[in-house]
């Protein structure tokens, strides 16, 4: 689990308690995917089932040297496939309103912005709530 935690520290601006990674995996393993290249974890996605019909993506990270190679799309596709077998109807996530590349990525995969959360992040930045209907 340590390589995933290190990757989250290297790529994400929010900080997470390391014990959360085990908790998320144990409670919803269908929402936890990693990508490995040359015996190194280069990406991961973590999500949870928030109610019988909704799953939430909590983290999606790809190491900087492996971005723009389709890894994020593969991770997202695996996550969506895992949630669909659990009869999930919607997948939601939050993304910084200033993270234009992530917003564009999620829109490319069919997500739509449905709300804005003021001062959602530790930095005080706002977030869009995005949703995909499965």
- Going from N- to C-terminal start, the domains of the chain cover 2-133
The distance from CA 35 to its chain's CA centroid, rounded to whole angstroms, is: 13
Please report the sign of the dihedral spanned by the C-alpha atoms of residue 32, residue 60, residue 95, residue 8. positive
The owner of tokens 């959602």 is 120
User: What CATH architecture does domain 2-133 belong to?
Assistant: 3-Layer(aba) Sandwich (3.40)
pLDDT at 85: 85
pLDDT at 33: 94
pLDDT at 1: 61
Sorting pLDDT into bands at 50, 70 and 90, what band is 10? confident
What is the per-residue pLDDT across 22-56, written as a single tens digit (0 to 9) for each?
888 898 888 999 999 989 999 999 999 999 999 99
Question: 96-102, long-range: CB within 8 Å, 24+ apart, which pairs?
Answer: 96/13, 96/121, 96/125, 96/126, 96/127, 96/128, 97/125, 97/126, 97/127, 97/128, 98/125
pTM of the model as a whole: 0.88
What is the per-residue pLDDT across 66-106, written as a single tens digit (0 to 9) for each?
999 999 999 999 999 988 888 899 999 999 999 999 999 99
pLDDT at 18: 75
Beta bridge partners of 127: 96, 117
pLDDT at 15: 77
């Amino acid at each position: 689990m340590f390589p995933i935690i290190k990757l989250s520290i290297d790529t994400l601006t929010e900080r997470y308690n390391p014990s959360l990674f085990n908790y998320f995996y144990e409670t919803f393993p269908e929402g936890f995917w990693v990508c490995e290249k040359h015996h190194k974890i280069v990406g991961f996605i973590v999500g949870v089932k928030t109610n019988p019909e909704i799953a939430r993506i909590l983290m999606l990270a790809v190491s900087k040297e492996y971005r723009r190679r389709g890894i994020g799309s593969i991770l997202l596709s695996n996550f969506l496939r895992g949630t669909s077998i659990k009869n999930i109807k919607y997948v939601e996530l939050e993304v910084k309103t200033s993270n234009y590349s992530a917003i564009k990525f999620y829109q490319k995969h069919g997500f739509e912005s449905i709300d804005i959360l003021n001062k959602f992040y530790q930095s005080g930045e706002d977030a869009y709530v995005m949703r995909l209907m499965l």
